Amino acid sequence: MINVQNLTKRYGSHLAVDNISFQVNEGEILGFLGPNGAGKSTTMNILTGYLSSSEGNVSINGHDILEEPNEAKSNIGYLPEQPPLYLDMTVREYLDFVFDLKQCNFNRQKHIGEICRLMQIEHVYNRLIKNLSKGYRQRVGFAQALIGNPPVLVLDEPTVGLDPNQIIEMRALIKNLGKHHTVILSSHILQEIEAVCDRIIIINDGKIVADDTASALSEKYSSDRRLMARIAGDEKRVTDILTHIAGVAEVICYGEKEDGVYEYVLEPQDGADFRRALFTALSKEGYPLLGLRSMEMSLEEIFISLTREQLPQTTIRKGGKRK
């Protein structure tokens, strides 16, 4: 459906998108994930024909965006980061305008009515866009993308500005749209991508650093069998015992969680399984092991570990989960 080949975008000497390639199949919901300035919006702007690439090809439904721009563009509905709204128009006038602009040839009233119902903007239909709240503007922008029923939807941070209930509704809506549309969705909210998307592309510094399903990603990056253990007893002494267990590469203490009970994260050496050795060592010294669980990497942690160089230290330490 969407085919991106060796896409590169330079702004002067700055490389915004660096030779990325990917395909999106029909009916797929692809999540585009990356920190601010990673090149998400630039890529989306190129996909939709707003910007031209410096190198590489983009084809939408078999139409090259540069060679057959009108055919390619009529296959795409685009919601940019900032919805492209004419503030001096009413919602009705605006959607009518978009309907004409996209040269749609079905029943205007019915089509726009359906979209307004779907986006729940019927009751602001006759109001000036300038007087709408950010959430409503976002929805009018989304409605604009849906006009003409394009098979491909490109949504740049569609839930920005919505309240939590609306965000949940919006995600359900996108998921639902994904049954009949090919959707590319960008976000820096990881739960959103995890909840909505079939496939995730993590982009950092203009490059694709990961491209897989959410579950495959967390499997791939959590194979290191890190363990979280709760052990009662003196912190220094226990740490000493733990570091001497064969197969343990690193021990980090997360502090006192209960009275006299400390939590430790154990990093294995080359994926070694040291659970038995751990039990034996602790029982020999008389320190009770109160809890032990493996630490699956969440999408958030995968994201952080893949894009770490770009993030300030404080973000990495969020929640005290990472060393």
Partner 1 sequence: MSAIFKREFKTYFTSPIGYIVLAMIFGLSGYYFFMYNLADGYADLSYVFSSVLTFLMLLVLPVLTMRLMSDDKRQKTDQALLTAPVSLTGIVLGKFFAAFLLFAVGISIMLVFAVIIATQITPDWLVVAGNFIGLLLLGGMIIAIGLLISCLTESQFVAALGTFLASFALLMLDSVGSMLSSSTVVVAITDFLSISQRYSNFTSGLMQYDDIVFFVSTTALFLFLTVRVLDRKRWN
| H-only helix segments in the chain | 40-47, 69-73, 91-101, 108-119, 134-146, 164-177, 190-196, 214-221, 235-243, 275-285, 299-307, 313-316
Rounded to a whole number of angstroms, the minimum distance from the CB of residue 86 to partner 1 is 6
Nearer to partner 1, 70 or 305 (CB): 70
Residues that bind partner 1 (CB under 8 A): 11-12, 45, 48-52, 54, 69-71, 73-74, 76, 78, 80, 82, 84-89, 93, 97-98, 100-103, 144
Nearer to partner 1, 33 or 143 (CB): 143
Rounded to a whole number of angstroms, the minimum distance from the CB of residue 248 to partner 1 is 54
Rounded to a whole number of angstroms, the minimum distance from the CB of residue 129 to partner 1 is 10
Reading phi first (left if > 0) and then psi (alpha if -120 to 50, else beta), residue 82 is in: beta
The closest alpha carbon to 171, from 201, 137, 195, belongs to: 195
Q: Dihedrals φ, ψ of 206, to 5°?
A: 80, 0
Radius of gyration of the chain (CA): 25
- In angstroms, the CA 151 to CA 146 distance is 9
Nearer to partner 1, 10 or 321 (CB): 10
Rounded to a whole number of angstroms, the minimum distance from the CB of residue 193 to partner 1 is 23
Nearer to partner 1, 45 or 59 (CB): 45
Nearer to partner 1, 2 or 76 (CB): 76
Rounded to a whole number of angstroms, the minimum distance from the CB of residue 204 to partner 1 is 23
